[in-house]
Amino acid sequence: MMFDVSIITDRVEPILHGLLVTFQTWFAGVLIGLVLGLGIAVLQLFGGRWLRIPLRMFIEVIRATPFLVLLFLLYYGGPEFGLSLEPITAGILGMGVYGSVYFAEIFRGGFQSVPKGHVEAAECLGMGRWQCIWRVQLPQMLVIILPALVNMITILCKETAVLSIITIPELTMVLTGIGSETFAFVETLLVLCIGYLILIELSSRLGLWLERRVGRFLVRS
Amino acid sequence: MNDVTTPILTLRNVGKRFGTNQVLKGVDLDVQRSEVVCLIGPSGSGKSTLLRSMAFLEEYDEGEIHINGQLLGWQSISPRRRASRSRLNQVRSSLGMVFQQFNLWPHMSALGNVCEALVRVKGLTRSDAERKGRAMLDKVGLAEKADAFPAQLSGGQQQRVAIARALAMEPSLMLFDEPTSALDPELVGEVLQVMKQLAADGMTMVVVTHEMGFAAQVADTVAFLDGGHIVAKGAPRDIFHDTEHPRLQQFLQNYLDRNAFWQDLKETPA
């Protein structure tokens, strides 16, 4: 079997563009997912019963839906309900919603890991609930939940491959396109794997660096 | 309302139940300005629950607690309706709480712990808060540890930072929930020393403690709890020489026995 490098080197530009689109949708999706997920977790824990029940249902339903189906519903089913989205918008939104429920569960676990006494101390000093969440609970729990967050973020990176089915020209779509055009499947799939590896390696490095940074206070003398 | 004759803290018939377990059964207590009250009693007697009720960390469900004449935690008593969080915080602002487990926030330095509420609640600027925070740390003898994180401090030092954090808010009443129970015996002294100084400076204090020596030396009033009641209350001298309450005598006997044991051990030739 011949391994033809020129198939790749001749198409560096579209491949890099695909990588960029993958990165953009991933990054935007993760951002939406994190913000939404934190909101869901906070409202679920502190918003009372009338928020807890519907949010719990939302989490369960989204978790039970494959990403592919969620995307189809959003992109092809959306117009039926008057929601016509550009592929890229639908992709990012779908990614955010899909990720948010997993992030929400990670945040929920994080909140429950902070000792109750730390919250009581804040209460006794007159701090409000939001001040307590923002200044006392979140920074502490971040150390504990960072590995789980980074894990979920890397999973979402690979889920972007599914976006090709709603015609988003991300890395998988570009490279499988080149593959079927040239029949050079081995070369293209190999490059595809390397592309994801680079992105995921970057995110886990960043995660480790952050872990060390936010965990500084755990040093013992 | 704040004249010398009005108690800072009044408890009237305070009750608390956890499910079917009635932990507090109608407690009455007055704490006067500058008074030091020690709550003693066996575990499960309700003394910690009583102290936590005074900060509304436990919602007492019978009776009334007033701090500086203001009803704590409830907007109305019958029917019981919870006060808003801001109202609760306003009543609570005149008390400071010190916990058995210190409850310092581990991601902030000692100074950060002391300054946080000064900035967020009192609205001080960062530099004013730090000046005040350093003064408070100096007061508990930890000026040089301002930048240390809690994990870098001993238990005794952590508890002193926690005391400084509460003091910084200028409470008129300090509540201590077994402040030395989580400490190595060697570190108990430094915390008690700070508390003695506070009492000498005229701070009003309610202390749940197992340190009978501290209670005997520092308290104006000692209250003995058993089974959710205050069984006996009085000056330390009267409580420690009590002849009326068998349960109290039995409780104190345990301490005497332990002391006698160490005394014997010391006097036994090697």
Per-residue pLDDT reduced to its tens digit, A75-106: 988 888 888 888 899 999 999 999 999 999 99
- Whole-complex ipTM: 0.91
pLDDT of residue A219: 58
Q: What is the secondary structure of chain A as a DSSP string? A: ----THHHHTTHHHHHHHHHHHHHHHHHHHHHHHHHHHHHHHHHHHS-HHHHHHHHHHHHHHHTS-HHHHHHIIIIIGGGGT----HHHHHHHHHHHHHHHHHHHHHHHHHHHS-HHHHHHHHHTT--HHHIIIIIIHHHHHHHHHHHHHHHHHHHHHHGGGGGGGT---HHHHHHHHHHHH--HHHHHHHHHHHHHHHHHHHHHHHHHHHHHHTGGG---
Q: Which of B92, B101, B105 sits opposite A126 (nearest CB)?
A: B92
Which residues in chain A have their CB less than 8 angstroms from residue B161's CB? none
pLDDT of residue B37: 97
Task: Say which range, A133-142, B149-158, B250-259, has the weakest mean pLDDT.
Answer: B250-259
Q: What is the rounded CA–CA span in Å between residue A114 and residue A120?
A: 11
Q: Is A115 left (phi over 0), alpha (psi -120 to 50) or beta?
A: beta
High-pLDDT (> 90) share of chain A, %: 57
Better-predicted residue by pLDDT, B153 or A78: B153
Q: What is the rounded CA–CA span in Å between residue B14 and residue B77?
A: 12
Cβ–Cβ of B99/A120 closer than 8 Å?
Answer: yes
The pair of three-digit structure tokens given for residue A217, joined into one six-digit string: 């206070």
Closest CA of chain B from A30, distance in Å: 26
Q: What's the mean pLDDT in B260-267?
A: 83
Q: What is the rounded CA–CA span in Å between residue A39 and residue A43?
A: 6
Q: What's the mean pLDDT in B112-126?
A: 94
Per-residue pLDDT reduced to its tens digit, B167-196: 999 999 999 999 999 999 889 999 999 999
Which residues in chain A have their CB less than 8 angstroms from residue B166's CB? 124-125
Q: What is the secondary structure of chain B as a DSSP string? A: --STTS-SEEEEEEEEEETTEEEEEEEEEEE-TT-EEEEE--TTSSHHHHHHHHTTSS---EEEEEETTEE-SEEETTTTEEPPHHHHHHHHTTEEEE-TT----TTS-HHHHHHHHHHHTS---HHHHHHHHHHHHHHTT-GGGTT--GGGS-HHHHHHHHHHHHHTT--SEEEEESTTTTS-HHHHHHHHHHHHHHHHTT-EEEEE-S-HHHHHHH-SEEEEEETTEEEEEE-HHHHHT--S-HHHHHHHHHHHHHHHHHHHHHHS--
* Whether residue B1 has pLDDT greater than 70: no
* Whether residue A1 has pLDDT greater than 70: no
Cβ of residue B119 closer than 8 Å to a chain A Cβ: no
Question: Is CATH 1.10.3720.10 what the domain over A6-220 is classified as, yes or no?
Answer: yes
Going B213 to B216 to B218 to B221, the CA torsion angle's sign is positive
Cβ–Cβ of B151/A124 closer than 8 Å?
Answer: no
Cβ of residue A144 closer than 8 Å to a chain B Cβ: no
Q: What is the rounded CA–CA span in Å between residue B128 and residue B218?
A: 33
Cβ of residue A127 closer than 8 Å to a chain B Cβ: yes
Computed over every residue of chain A, the mean pLDDT equals: 89
Phi, psi of A27, rounded to the nearest 5 degrees: -60, -50
* Whether residue B31 has pLDDT greater than 60: yes
* Whether residue B257 has pLDDT greater than 60: yes
Per-residue pLDDT reduced to its tens digit, A169-185: 888 888 888 888 888 88
Band of pLDDT at residue B144, cut at 50, 70 and 90 = very high
Q: What's the mean pLDDT in A142-167?
A: 91
* Whether residue A2 has pLDDT greater than 80: no
Locate the chain B residue with the closest alpha carbon to A218.
B151
What is the domain partition of chain A in residue ranges? 6-220
pLDDT of residue B29: 95
Which residues in chain B have their CB less than 8 angstroms from residue A143's CB? 107
pLDDT of residue B3: 52
Task: Say which range, A84-88, B52-56, B136-140, B159-163, has the weakest mean pLDDT.
Answer: A84-88
Band of pLDDT at residue A221, cut at 50, 70 and 90 = very low
Mutate one of A119, A123, A124 to test the B interface: name it (highest B CB count within 10 A).
Answer: A124
Cβ–Cβ of A125/B166 closer than 8 Å?
Answer: yes
Q: What's the mean pLDDT in A10-31?
A: 91
pLDDT of residue B269: 76
Per-residue pLDDT reduced to its tens digit, B190-233: 999 999 999 999 999 999 999 999 999 999 999 999 999 999 99
Whether the bond into A54 is cis, omega within 30 of 0: no
pLDDT of residue A220: 46
Tally of CB atoms within 10 A around A80? 9
* A-contacting residues in B 18-47 (Cβ below 8 Å): none
Closest CA of chain A from B247, distance in Å: 32
Locate the chain B residue with the closest alpha carbon to A125.
B117
pLDDT of residue A120: 95
Band of pLDDT at residue B13, cut at 50, 70 and 90 = very high
